[in-house]
Structure 1
Amino acid sequence: MINSTIRDYSEKRDFIRMKVDTTIRLTFDDSEKTMTAVCKDLSGTGMLIETSDALAENSEFHTSLPSSNPAFPAFETKVKVIRCAESEDGRFLIGTEILNMP
């Protein structure tokens, strides 16, 4: 049982973060508000998004990351804010957890 727990934790750390630095659209269900932001990096469990506005921890929203290939659809997710930190340039870095991919 302990080996299984250690392996489960280890597997969560095995996702590689891919630097993407591309425009992403955020859509908020509670207000039907949309926002354009920058997806800085992406992994199997989350993404780092740079915005001009702070977002509350635990808030949830939908994302749409466009595909550069017309043969593939946009990458759509629902995410939850894990952390929000202001950067030196006054923008906000939003750490998110991917909840699902509808």
Structure 2
Amino acid sequence: MLNHDEKRDYIRMDVDCDITYKLADSTEVKTGKCTTLSGAGVSFIADQPFDLGLAMEVSIMPKTQITPPMTAFIEVVRSAKQGDGSYEIAASIKSIKGN
């Protein structure tokens, strides 16, 4: 068993890779930066805020081919404005999209 101080069900990993995101009912795709990822959630930097509870689809593209890309359906749980005018979006992963 892993020994860590974090009281979450899954360890949160800091990442720095591209992410695409779109609203569940939209075809418009935007690009941001994924900042953290865990088995239950994801956070990323976007150019706009999103309402809590909003359903989205994200695709995370790791920088190396060792880790495969992942597409998931998420629900926004936090949207916080950053000092540079961007927004940090935190979301829970509801399901992983299969190939």
Which TM-score bucket, shorter chain as reference? 0.7 to 0.9
Match of 1:61 among 56, 59, 70: 56
The separation in 2 between residues aligned to 1:59 and 1:42, in whole angstroms, is: 19
**Larger fraction in helix:** 1
Offset of 1:36 from its aligned partner? Answer: 0.2
Offset of 1:30 from its aligned partner? Answer: 1.7
Amino acid at match of 1:92: Y
**1:3 aligned partner:** none
The separation in 2 between residues aligned to 1:45 and 1:81, in whole angstroms, is: 12
Paired residues, number: 90
The separation in 1 between residues aligned to 2:91 and 2:49, in whole angstroms, is: 13
Give ranges in structure 2 of 5+ residues lacking alignment.
Answer: 1-6
Amino acid at match of 1:39: C
Q: Normalised by the size of structure 1, how large is the TM-score?
A: 0.79
Offset of 1:88 from its aligned partner? Answer: 1.3
Offset of 1:25 from its aligned partner? Answer: 0.6
Q: Give per-residue Cα distances to partners, 1:40-61, cap 9 Å, x unaligned.
A: 0001100111111111111111
Give ranges in structure 1 of 5+ residues lacking alignment.
Answer: 1-11
**2:4 aligned partner:** none
Name which one, 1 or 2, has greater alpha-carbon Rg: 1
Q: Give per-residue Cα distances to partners, 1:6-37, cap 9 Å, x unaligned.
A: xxxxxx71411111111101122322111101
Paired-residue identity, %: 29
Q: Normalised by the size of structure 2, how large is the TM-score?
A: 0.82
